[in-house]
Structures are given as C-alpha cells and as structure tokens.
C-alpha cells in the first residue's frame, strides 16, 4: 500500500506540478517584458519623429505649391508676350503684302490656328464620373473627341480656351491632361466653330462620337452638348514658323 501511494503521489514530474508551472511561466516573463518595452520605445520614437517632421513637411508642401503657381504665372506672362509679338508680326506681314497675299494669310491663318476666329458652333463639356469608383477623362478621350469634331467639319477647336492646330499635343502628365504641355483643369470645355445645325449629328456618326457614346453609357463620364450662335477662339500661342523655304522661281 505504501508503494502504491508513493507511485500515485510522484506520477507527475515536479516541473509539471502546480509549482513547476509557476516556475516555467516565470522563465518567460523577463523576455516578454523586454520585447514589449522595445516595441513601445520604437512606437514612441516613430510618433515623435512624425510629430517633429509634420511642420517641415507642411512647409515644404507650401513652398512647392508657391513655386508651381509662380512658374504658371511666368508661363502665362510669356505666352501673352508671345501672342502680342505674333500679332505684331502678322500685322507687319499684311502691311507688306498685296491684296491676294493678305487674303491667303487670313484664310490660311484661320485654318492653321495662327489667327483668332469668330463664328457659330457647338460647346461640349466633359468631366469625370461621380462616385467612389469614378472613371476619369483621359488624354485619349479628348483626342477622340477633337478628332471626331475635325472629321465632322469643325473649322476651329479650342480646349479650355487653348486653340488647337495640327501641331497641338494632347498628352497626360501624371494625373493631369496637358495641351501643348500646359495642364488643364476639369471640367474640360471644348469649343468648335462650325455649322451648329449639322455638326452634332455628323460628330455622332464618327469614331469619336461612338467612343463618347460608350464612355457616357458604360463609364458614366459627363458629356453635355450645346450650340452657340457666336464663339471667339484665340490664336494658338504656340504656333510659329520653325522652318521656311523659298519657292523656286520666286523673288530673291
């Protein structure tokens, strides 16, 4: 009986007895406390660095915004000077030309975008869709739109007041769309001089019209068309002669 009693009392290893469990858990208390301390210090330091860097980041952002605004203003001033000089050059050319040449300059300047034009036409305003998963207007969307208007018979086109020509580049730069490398602000207003009675219907039959019908129906892009009795489109400020060749047999 004494032997059975001894076996029963010592069957569990002392390390697994109540006291042993306390000892085993005690072995892990110090490492866990050290890890918790290190993690707490790291989090506190990260928060402190973020707090200290906040004003500096805000100041840098403000400086960057000011620099961008200053550069935009400088570009606007240079474009205005360029436009004034081009108008002065055009005036000098007309003064030196005969009647036939003047007529050619007027007609070619309007078509090429080198001179301001006025006339009836259509106004199309497009914009991004609404909602959490909003679709955005892209540079390809605007190219499809303007190419369709040209195909439909538009005589002159401007996007947000910027006159288009055969040399105009419509591109994307990050999240912005640029016309001749100048960023546009949405919504995008496209003005096209042409017959307001036929231009919308002809545009709808072009590839650009089909593109925008799909964009409006399936992606929710805003697309509004209206007619105008008179539109005033400025000359393209970036249009200039980079190369010239004297016709054969002409005066020296």
Token pair 């489109």: residue: 233
Could you report the per-residue pLDDT of 143-191, keeping only the tens digit for each?
A: 999 999 999 999 999 999 999 987 888 999 888 899 988 889 999 999 9
Cβ atoms of 165 and 134 within 8 Å: the answer is no
Could you report the per-residue pLDDT of 82-113, keeping only the tens digit for each?
A: 777 766 776 776 676 666 665 655 555 555 66
Is it the case that residue 10 has pLDDT exceeding 60?
Answer: no
- How many angstroms separate the Cα of 231 from the Cα of each of 25, 140, 161, 226? 85, 25, 11, 12
What is the spatial distance between Cα 209 and Cα 224, in angstroms, rounded to a whole number?
12
Percentage with pLDDT > 70 across the chain: 67
| pLDDT recorded at residue 190 | 97
């Amino acid at each position: 009986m004494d032997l059975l009693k001894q076996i029963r009392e010592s069957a569990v290893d002392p390390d697994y007895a109540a006291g042993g469990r306390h000892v085993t858990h005690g072995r892990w208390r110090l490492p866990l406390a050290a890890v918790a301390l290190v993690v707490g210090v790291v989090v506190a330091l990260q928060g402190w660095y973020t707090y200290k860097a906040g004003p500096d980041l805000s100041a840098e952002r403000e400086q960057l915004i000011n620099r961008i605004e200053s550069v935009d203003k400088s570009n606007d001033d240079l474009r205005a000077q360029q436009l004034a000089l081009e108008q002065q050059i055009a005036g000098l050319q007309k003064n030196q030309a005969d009647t036939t040449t003047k007529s050619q300059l007027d007609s070619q300047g309007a078509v090429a975008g080198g001179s301001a034009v006025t006339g009836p036409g259509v106004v199309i305003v497009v914009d991004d869709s609404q909602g959490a998963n909003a679709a955005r207007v892209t540079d390809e969307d605007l190219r499809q739109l303007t190419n369709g208007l040209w195909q439909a018979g538009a005589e002159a086109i401007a996007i947000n007041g910027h006159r288009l020509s055969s040399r105009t580049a419509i591109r994307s730069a990050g999240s912005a769309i640029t016309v001749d490398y100048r960023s546009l602000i949405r919504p995008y207003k496209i003005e096209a001089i042409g017959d307001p009675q036929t231009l919308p219907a002809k545009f709808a039959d072009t590839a650009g019209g089909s593109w925008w019908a799909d964009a409006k129906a399936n992606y929710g892009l805003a697309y509004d068309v209206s007619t105008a009795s008179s539109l005033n489109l400025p000359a393209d400020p970036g249009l200039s002669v980079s190369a010239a060749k004297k016709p054969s047999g002409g005066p020296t």
